[in-house]
Amino acid sequence: MNVLTREQKGLLLYLETRAVDHRGIVSTLHMNQGDLLQAAEWGKEGFLLAWRRLPWAWVDQYSESGQKGCTHFVKLSAQAVAQAHQLRQERAEFGAKHTEALLQEVFA
């Protein structure tokens, strides 16, 4: 996989969150057309092991239970999981460094 753009990184982290916290059910209300196209491309490339539309009956069922926009299922490849983990680790380190610097100023 090539170096990801900022938008691709955000999409990967969103899909990873949906895969982990929502059993792979994706709300596409939080995705734009570019995200949908990128996810489909990743599916063709094998970066996503699954990217498919849910049956309409499922979409209706999720909508009726208050989970609007749940229209797709995602399953990440090992490579996608590893890359998402690396991105989360980088973000955590960046955030911690920033907070530590602020705390040093407060307690100096």
The dihedral sign for the CA sequence 61, 32, 89, 95: negative
Contact (Cβ atoms closer than 8 angstroms) between residue 72 and residue 51: yes
1 pLDDT tier (thresholds 50, 70, 90): low
Nearest to 27 by CA among 59, 75, 64: 59
Q: What is the pLDDT of residues 21-30, one digit of tens each?
A: 999 999 999 9
Q: What is the pLDDT of residues 19-71, one digit of tens each?
A: 999 999 999 999 999 999 999 999 999 999 999 999 999 898 888 888 889 99
Asked if pLDDT for residue 98 goes beyond 70, the answer is: yes
pTM score of the predicted model: 0.85
